[in-house]
Chains A and B, each alone.
Chain A
Amino acid sequence: MAESPLAPRGATRIWGHLWMILGVFVVVFPVYYVFIASTHSTQTILRPPLPLLPGPEGVANYRDAFSGGIDRIGGVSLWRLLGNTALIAVGIAVGKIAISMASAYAIVFFRFPLRMAAFWLIFITLMLPVEVRIQPTYKVMVDLGLIDTYAGLILPLIASATATLLFRQFFMTIPDELLEAARVDGAGPWRFFRDILWPLSLTNVAAIFVIQFIYGWTQYLWPLLVTNSNEMNTIVIALRKMISFADAETPWNLVMVTSVLAILPPLLVVVLMQRWFVKGLVETEK
């Protein structure tokens, strides 16, 4: 590396660091800012500029938020909001993986009439995001009685053309000999899946899980449409309700705590599962 004519010399390298530090600062600052705000009192928050170091109210703010503070402004406990959001995020991620793997398995390892038609039917949903069919989809939800239910929040979002495509692509790289050998040994579709395919798919499953968990956690338009009751709010929707009805009485310190808690779980998942996340993102989308 050292003798390569490409190895950047001292000054270039230092400039690289300086620019990266500036870039990282801009990228991280908004999250840092809300974290700092969550450790100050409402009075301090409302009197700019905000100090740039954590304040003394941190523990008190978080304790208050978890023990009834959010109920007073949002009408529902912080635990419930986090629970709802986690349930939806995990439900969507697991649901997508399950039905996409099943469809990809059917399309790759079986031959049946209308196989490609089924594939295209799934594939074309790429072109029908929720945003372009808001009103009629809402009507379906009402007709099926799915408003304010977890099923309503999860089911419509688990169809996934991208996950199906990814699993299909991956299954097609499985050497034919593996399946032949399995069939010679008398393995049926379920045995082959459980003993051979599933263990081989784990990295892809992890990658898709991270991406879809983030997708589920950060949903906005859908929960906004299909929930009316505060009890069914996700933390993101609850937060938006808090700030849109803000007045002189709004306890901003608790709003900031809620923001931090809305960001923290997906942030931890992305950072801790970074390896799978980056692989999944860069490889699926290309």
Chain B
Amino acid sequence: MMAGRTYGGKLAVGVAITVLLTLLTIAISVAGLAVVVSAKDSAITSATEDLAGAEELSRLMEMRIADYRNYLLDGRPENSRLTEEHHQDFRRKLDELQRGISDTASQEMLTKIRGLNERHAAASAEMMTERAVNNDIVAITRINDTKVVPVRTQLQQALAELIVRVRNDVDRDRQESSTRANQAIGLVIGLGVLTAISAVLVALRLSRDLKREVGAAVGHIQSSSAQLEAAAAQQVNGGRDQASAMSEITTTISELLITSRQIAESAQRVSKIAEETEAAARAGDATIDQTRSSIGTIRSQVDQIVQHMLALGEKSQQIGQVVDLVSELAEQTNILAINATIEASGAGEWGRRFAVVAEEIRKLADRTAASAKEIRTLIEDVRGAVNTTVMATEIGAKAVDAGARKFDDATNSFREIAQLVSTTNDATREIELSTKQQTTAVEQVNVAASDTARVSRETEASAVQTRQTAAHLSTLSSDLLEMVGTGRH
């Protein structure tokens, strides 16, 4: 029934069995006592009421007889009255006794007594009446002895038999109650013995289980204590190392805290510089707008220069055409002058004069041609210069355009830089804030690390105490094994 139960369960079952048996013993004892009390009450009742009633009947009968005799002797009405009263008392007691007794034989005896009483009363009344009219005591006594005494004797004998009968009934009830009491005592003793045996068995079983289970548990406790002691030793070493490491960490965190504060100060300076840079970028933005306007003006001026140079080139080309015409005329004049000279050479004296004029004309034509050639050269130089200037100006215009585009790119880059500077400023503010938060966090970490170092030292002390406690627990386990009788493992 106890297989597979814990020791507490077994103990509970054993105690429950013992308690149940004890309660059963108590209940049976109470029932037995109740039965015994009832039997004793019945016996006492029959002894006090029935036996006393029977003896009361006998006593009343004796008093009635005494009053009757006194009346027969002195004839006083007082004695007659007492005789009647005691007669009535006898009747009432007889009625009570007949109502209280349940025994059939006793009832029959009471009925017999009632009849004898009536006969005795009738005889007594007759004698008392006779005594009232006759003062002869001897005659009265003689009549009485014949009429009343036999009935009285029967009545007294019946009363004596009743008393004996009732006394026998009382003795029988007493013996019966004593028997029941003895039975109850035996039952209680048996249950007590059974309870004791059960308690002893439970105690033996519990003791055996206690030895076995507690021995095994104490063995486990001993091995666990040894392991706990070893673990505590390791924890001591670990706690010592941890305390040392936490001390180093605390020192490092302090240095980190200093560095964080320096970073926070640097971030603050960077934020200030970024704000100044952002302001300078905004100022540079206005300068860029002015510069863009200036570049537009330069572009317009360059375009005008190109237009003027192109116009100058066209004019130079027109001049060149005129010069070409002059050169053509000079060449024609030169040819005509030479031919005139040739013609004039065959015309005698007049021809020679004309040849001189023609020669002068040819020289003028040569000079004109030379001048035209110089002009042509100059015009070509001018046109070349104009072309060079136009090309240079166009290159310059293109350069201005390229510069304007690059300036736009630079403007965009500058605005992007300004945007980035603004973003950098925001980021720097965030860095500054984050660094401050980081400094605060590092301070908190520093406090926490200090607390952890203190806890590590306390842990080391606790580990030492744990090791001592484990050793003490091992000793206590050995003592407990000896106490439960298992001995050392």
Partners in one complex: no
